[in-house]
Amino acid sequence: MTRLTRRAALAGATAVTGAAALPRFAIGQADNRPTITVAVQKISNTNTLSALREQSNVGTRIAPTITERLIDLNYQSKLEPVPGLATEWKRIDDTTVEFKLRQGVKFHDGSEFTAEDVAGSFSPQHMFGETRPTVRGVTLPMTGGNPAVFTKELTRDVPPVARRLWPALERVEIVDKHTVRFVNAAPDVTIEGRASVRGSDIVSFKAFNDSPSWLEYARKPVGTGPYKVREFKPDNSLVLDAHDEYWGGRPPIKTLRFLEVPEASSRINGLLSGEYHFASDVSPDQIPQIERNRAFEVQQSLVPNHRLIVFDKNHAPIADPRIRRAMTHAIDRQAIVDALWGGRTTVPRGLQWDFYADMLIQDWTVPKFDPALARQLIREAGYKGDPITFRVAAGYYINQAPTAQVLVEMWKQVGLNVQIKMVENWTQIFERGPERGIRDWSNSATFSDPVSSIVAQHGPNGQQQQMGEWTNDEMNKLTVELESSTDRARRKAVFARMLEICEREDPAYTVLHQNAVFTAKRREFKWKAAPSFAMDFRASNWG
């Protein structure tokens, strides 16, 4: 059983009690909390705030802010799991986990958080956009729904994220007002991890039911987080107000504004001029310019996200796996890290992270830089110089355009004709057609198990296979085993084989380097960047 530690409980009690003890008239009389403006390159890729739809890096930025999960992450340490809306949890058996819910929590609309909201948040209506009648206060099954009940509009509004995050969740049982049980249809050692990821957010089920449509609700979700949505203008701005009844202590900021400023130079100029208080996603070469002024500083974090090149093996020039393998061996990853990142990030051991602990494949490496081997594979494949299209959405990732240009030159050196096609957004990146060859992307580990990364994005329910870019029968069979086996030694062997398939034999992607985040801010603000894309503006991370 995982329990809230005594120290954490006392700290939380102090924060909550202290906020409650403040005289009501004093709060209303003099609210001297600041309004903070954060310049970001993008607020949402889907023009919604729902974690079920907005699964992007930019969407993760507001993860600790509006909606919360049963199990939270420690954003001021190493993203280890900590109590969130659940104070403790325990394994009943291989398919069942019981959660004790935090009491006294209020949603943004003032309603009380209960087990009914947890069941409702994991109901077919919320997770999948099903049109079956809502049933309140009873067990709500996740699986077994007939696809015919989904309308075309709802299917477009609600992508299959829930099926990727919870492929075998059978139901959420309400034990009592403050206790729920998650019951899986198959054994799963990762239920606790899945409960901590974005997409497992708890929302006010009443507010969701009262909303005119799923999409309208997704643009103004009602959660339990420290800030509530006042106004969301897609592609422009997001304004959040303090949720003063927040269980974790009165928020330190009165109003939090995220402004979409696509150009990094404009974000930096606005920061230096005083227009913005924070500027996200600056590049390493811009740090000296910012810190030349002692009023500002840049905080950096390595995050559990790796930059990738992803292959569409339906693209004729790279259908032969030898061409994809040649592309992986033509890349000098360390040269990219040194030249474009000033050595501020690392080349990892493939699509895995150290926090996998005993599931980490210690002796695994990315394909070695070997131009001679790349040329040999190209000759064996009979490549005739046909153009390979490389789709890039400039400005989304740090150093995105320079990285693309360096890669094209490296591929040219071994005889590959790769042509960059700059596009404006992710819709154009994923657009099907003969020109969809390779693309720029990244992959995150949302909890400490390979299921969260290689399966979530490259397995049968992952985005790459759902987009029709790549599939592999053996990989898909191994996915089922990795998700349902409780034998850790066997799971590790399965994961090792998956890496071999996806990175060596029939490349689905190739890892470039670990991602890093650089956030510029006024030095006077006592705020710490998380080892995540998430920006934490709770009381525990301010002042």
Q: 499: helix, coil or strand?
A: helix
Mean pLDDT lowest among 21-25, 143-147, 380-384:
143-147
What's the pLDDT score for residue 519?
97
CB–CB of 496/504 below 8 Å?
no
Residue 530 clears pLDDT 70, i.e. is over it:
yes
The residue type at 486: T
CB–CB of 472/445 below 8 Å?
no
Which of 95, 52, 388, 297 shows the shortest CA–CA distance to 197? 52
pLDDT band at 130 (very low <50, low <70, confident <90, very high): low
pLDDT band at 149 (very low <50, low <70, confident <90, very high): very low
Mean pLDDT of 279-290: 95
What is the C-alpha to C-alpha distance for residues 107 and 217, in angstroms, rounded to an integer?
15
What's the pLDDT score for residue 253?
98
Strand partners, 172: 140, 182
Mean pLDDT of 181-209: 95
pLDDT in tens, 394-424: 778 999 999 999 999 999 999 999 999 998 8
Domain residues of the chain, as ranges? 2-258+525-541, 303-515
Residue 4 clears pLDDT 90, i.e. is over it:
no
Which of 312, 1, 305, 51 shows the shortest CA–CA distance to 165? 51
What is the C-alpha to C-alpha distance for residues 508 and 275, in angstroms, rounded to an integer?
43
Residue 142 clears pLDDT 90, i.e. is over it:
no
pLDDT in tens, 48-79: 999 888 888 998 999 899 999 999 999 999 99
The alpha carbon dihedral of 108, 109, 111, 116 has a sign of negative
What's the pLDDT score for residue 214?
83
pLDDT band at 160 (very low <50, low <70, confident <90, very high): low
pLDDT in tens, 232-246: 999 999 999 999 999
What is the C-alpha to C-alpha distance for residues 122 and 435, in angstroms, rounded to an integer?
38
- Average pLDDT over all residues of the chain: 89
Residue 448 clears pLDDT 70, i.e. is over it:
yes
The alpha carbon dihedral of 376, 379, 385, 387 has a sign of negative
Mean pLDDT lowest among 137-141, 308-312, 350-354:
137-141
**May I ask the CATH architecture of the domain 303-515?**
Roll (3.10)
- Concatenating the DSSP letter of every residue in 151-194 gives -HHHHHHS-THHHHH-TTEEEEEEEETTEEEEEESS--TTHHHH
Mean pLDDT lowest among 4-18, 377-391, 494-508:
4-18
What's the pLDDT score for residue 424?
84
Residue 92 clears pLDDT 70, i.e. is over it:
yes
What's the pLDDT score for residue 354?
94
What's the pLDDT score for residue 137?
36
pLDDT in tens, 248-263: 999 999 999 999 999 9
Question: Which of 115-129, 211-225, 519-533 shows the highest mean pLDDT?
Answer: 519-533
What is the C-alpha to C-alpha distance for residues 226 and 459, in angstroms, rounded to an integer?
35
What's the pLDDT score for residue 145?
32
CATH fit for domain 2-258+525-541, picks 3.40.190.10, 3.40.50.300, 3.30.1130.10, 3.30.200.20:
3.40.190.10
Mean pLDDT of 439-462: 95
What's the pLDDT score for residue 3?
42
Residue 21 clears pLDDT 50, i.e. is over it:
no
What's the pLDDT score for residue 215?
85
- Name the residue with higher pLDDT: 136 or 503: 503
Mean pLDDT of 74-92: 96
Residue 309 clears pLDDT 80, i.e. is over it:
yes
Mean pLDDT lowest among 71-85, 116-130, 299-313, 438-452:
116-130
What is the C-alpha to C-alpha distance for residues 417 and 414, in angstroms, rounded to an integer?
9
CB–CB of 394/412 below 8 Å?
no
